[in-house]
Amino acid sequence: MSTLARLKRPGITGKLFLAVLATATLVAVAVSVAAQWSFQRGFIGYLNQQAVLRMELVLPRLAAAYGEHGSWGFLRNRPEVWFGLVGVGPAHPPDPPEPPDSPPSAAPKGPMAEMIASDLLGAGRRLSLLDSQRQRVTGFPFIMADSEQREIVVDGRTVGWLAMAPIQTVTDAAAVGFLDRQLLASAAAVAVAVLLSAAIAWWVARALLAPVRAVAGATHRLAAGGYDTRVPVRGRDEVAQLAQDFNQLALTLERNERMRRDFMADVSHELRTPLAVLRGELEALEDGVHQPTPELLRRLQQEVATLAQLVGDLHELALADVGALAYRKEDLDLVPLLRGELASLQAEAAERGLAFEAGLPAGPIAVSGDERRLRQLLLNLLANSLRYTDAGGSVRVTLAADGGDAVLDLQDSAPGVPEELLPRLFERFFRVEASRSRGRGGSGLGLAIARSIAEAHGGRLEARPSPLGGLWIRLVLPRLRRRGEGEGA
């Protein structure tokens, strides 16, 4: 059934081949038919033109014969004399004339056949002689409405008219043979053109669609899970752009799959550690190895809090991924929000021996946002700096208005982050193992959550090396302008 379906529905290669072939065939046939029609019409016009020239040659002879005899009586019932004057032949008359639309009769025999053959398509047989009253004297018996007529003038007086019946169709054997040869040559040219078109169409269909077929095959492998599939990019046309876009898609899917696996591994690792501690301590309590001292209970409570924080962070990230995080935005002043978070961390900074430097503006910096989420954003950024700055270092915080934005710069001292790893700081569970290791605490989700909150408020987070030797985090949020505030404020 599948084979029959493929035969009934050709692929894109077959469709393109048929389309190109059909177009080329139609063009070749149309050109051939138009050429044949034009040639035949032109050939008949040429023959009629030659016949008119023949008339011009006959006129002087007829005028001289009339001047010699004084009337046309010498031609009545004497076709041999008439045909001698018009140049068909001497005393032997030709076959009786036929109407122009009648089928051709058998060719005459003997000497007359040779003389008539020398006449251009029987031009002499199509000549008619009319008297001055336009009454037929001799010659072709049919005077047609479109016949060519010439005056016969003797001594300044019109004594008669010479009429030539035009050729409507080609019936002469030689002319018919010539036309047949032309038609045969045109048919051969059409056949050759169709064969060449078929070859070119097949080559074009195969050559142009080869990259498309490669992309189609790679798509099947990609859908089956082969995220390392790539397509070679050749040229700069639309097909090459398609291949480039496919490679970018495959790279993105491969990276997402790697991040998904790393994420699952990190989640399981983060959950396993506090669970293993809890399980070990609880088993020790059951076996009587440990006593439920306040210190032990405090450690168990810390592990439970770590689990709760991790689960809460994962839940928030899951909601952010589907756009389900609830935000209740209102007009807020960032200055008191930031001042409050700095105050809450002063004790921890002092405990770690860190110097807190804050540069806050005297006036308000208004933004539109969710107060709870913005507090969470500021806390995550500040806690990250405190957690990953060596004891005795410093943390510098500045907030300022820059055009239409509110800009928060958070710089800390060593240890720093290699510049090539800066773009990955906001990935989930990412840590710089050499310096900002897990031993310093945290779930590895704080900066990822901070970026999600910043983007939900129309802002962005950037990471760069700090002049103090550590990390420089910049938060940019769109600022609300007060009435009367200029563009340059």
**pLDDT digits over 300-325, tens only?**
887 787 778 777 777 776 776 666 56
Token readout for 458 is 């129309």
pLDDT band at residue 149, thresholds of 50, 70 and 90? confident
Count of CA atoms in the C-beta half-sphere (13 A) of 281: 19
| Alpha helix stretches (DSSP H) within 119-235 | 173-223
Least confident of 74-78, 142-146, 249-253: 142-146
Distance in angstroms (rounded) separating the CA atoms of residues 429 and 263:
7
pLDDT at 116: 38
Task: Pick from 171-180, 244-253, 286-295, 421-430 the range whose average pLDDT is largest.
Answer: 244-253
Cis peptide before 415 (omega within 30 of 0): yes
DSSP bridge partners of 31: none
Average pLDDT, the chain: 77
Residue 353: which region, alpha, beta or left (left: phi > 0; alpha: psi -120 to 50)? left
Provide the pLDDT for residue 406.
Answer: 92
- Residue 484 φ/ψ region, left for φ over 0, alpha for ψ in the -120 to 50 degree band, beta for the rest: left
Indicate the range of 155-169, 197-211, 462-476 predicted with least confidence: 197-211
Q: What is the pLDDT of residue 296?
A: 81
pTM above 0.75, yes or no: no
Q: Which of 270, 265, 269, 231 is nearest to 250 (CA)?
A: 231
Which residue in this structure is represented by tokens 């806050």? 360
Per-residue pLDDT, 57: 84
Who wins on pLDDT, 43 or 332?
Answer: 332
Residue, of 114 and 445, whose pLDDT is higher:
445
Side-chain-facing half-sphere of 286: CA atoms under 13 Å:
6
Distance CA 337, CA 86 (A): 121
CA nearest to 100, candidates 80, 136, 128 = 128
Q: Cα–Cα distance between 371 and 230 in angstroms, integer? A: 46
| Residues 355-375: tens digit of each pLDDT | 888 889 988 999 999 888 898
Cα distances from 94 to residues 117, 121, 130, 138, 357, in angstroms, run 11, 13, 20, 13, 128
CA distance 158 to 257: 106
Contact 356, 342 (CB under 8 A): yes
Q: What is the DSSP string of 220-280?
A: HHHHTT-TT------SSSHHHHHHHHHHHHHHHHHHHHHHHHHHHHHHHHHHHHHHHHHHH
Stretch 412-428: mean pLDDT: 83
Mean pLDDT of 454-481: 89
pLDDT in tens, 88-141: 644 333 344 444 444 443 333 443 333 333 454 566 677 888 888 888 888 888
